[in-house]
Amino acid sequence: MNPAVEAKRDLGWAHQFIPAPPDKSPFTLLLLHGTGGNEDSLLDLGRSLLPNAALLSPRGKVLEGSMPRFFRRLAEGVFDVDDLKQRTHELADFVSAASVAYEFDATKVVAVGYSNGANIAASTLLLRPEVLWGAVLLHPMVPLMPDELPSLSSKPIFIGAGRFDPMVPVVETERLADLLRSAGADVTLFFQDNGHGITQDEFAAAQKWLKKASHAF
């Protein structure tokens, strides 16, 4: 398969898809960029996190000024929940359609999201949990409170966070971890003495966690 050709399939989203090498990992990483990113932003991160996985990387459809996002916000840290719910379902439907178009295993999709991308990944876990096998959430917030908690029984989730993140207080990260655990997820929480950026130590911890989690299945 030719990645350059594959990425041009019309599934309603600007996106990149890079298939896994033959007979390699059955996993597909769903790469979800932060505010101002695009479908190319996390490709190198994805390749490094799980080298033999397929990569599916959509561009957020919402523009804040000229910056792509996955859903609207009313102010920093204040989300448009109705838009978030709609966009979450749109993203989940896209992943399902992509699994058919690109013939990857729909039961082995791991979201890797940063900031805004981590928030819509967390929303997907809460609203459409069947779409994701697991998730790497880098600097997320609690995206919303679902009307009813889903069953996330033993679903593996890594949360990376900064103790001095000006956008995501520690208590907010802990609230999300508690919410996911209360739904049954197996949550690993990793804190660094940093801000909102991804450090090398955080990346290394996520890489080690993902390698162990993916090899267990």
The DSSP element (H or E) to which 8 belongs, if any, is: none
Point out the catalytic residue in the list 83, 93, 105, 196.
196
Residue 14 vs residues 120, 144, 177: alpha-carbon distances, Å:
17, 26, 31
Point out the catalytic residue in the list 41, 57, 115, 214.
115
Phi/psi class of residue 154: alpha, beta or left (left: φ > 0; alpha: ψ in -120 to 50)? Answer: left
**Smallest Cα–Cα separation from 108: which of 130, 124, 90, 89?**
130
- Please indicate whether residue 115 is annotated as part of the active site: yes
Point out the catalytic residue in the list 41, 57, 165, 214.
165
**Residue linked to tokens 């390699």:** 24
Q: What is the rounded distance in angstroms from the CA atom of residue 1 to the CA atom of residue 133? A: 24
- Please indicate whether residue 196 is annotated as part of the active site: yes
At residue 37, what are phi and psi to the nearest 5 degrees? -85, -175
Q: What is the rounded distance in angstroms from the CA atom of residue 51 to the CA atom of residue 173? A: 28
Q: What is the rounded distance in angstroms from the CA atom of residue 167 to the CA atom of residue 131? A: 28
Residues with a known catalytic role = 115, 165, 196
